[in-house]
Amino acid sequence: MRAITALQLRAAYIAISLGVILGIAGFVRTGALLISAGTGVISLSQWNKRRIERYLPLAIAIVLFGLAIALPKGL
């Protein structure tokens, strides 16, 4: 698997931060999508770690993505 660069990790952290800010501001679906994308990138960067440390965050990111897609649209 290809190594994830420092620039990609920085972009993932920025996506997570923006997701949290957007979620607080009321854009929950967009925030959840950004958080799940950032978490997925970070979990893929930990691919050489132990099994639970790489699969659990990836599973959480996938479930959060599914939850964001299933959320109803606004009024």
User: Distance between CA atoms of 62 and 54, rounded to whole angstroms?
Assistant: 13
Where are the domains positioned within the chain?
6-70
> Which pLDDT tens digit goes with each residue over 17-30?
999 999 999 888 89
**Look-up of token digits 């972009």:** 11
Q: Model pTM?
A: 0.79
> Which pLDDT tens digit goes with each residue over 5-55?
889 889 999 999 999 999 999 888 899 899 999 988 888 887 777 778 778
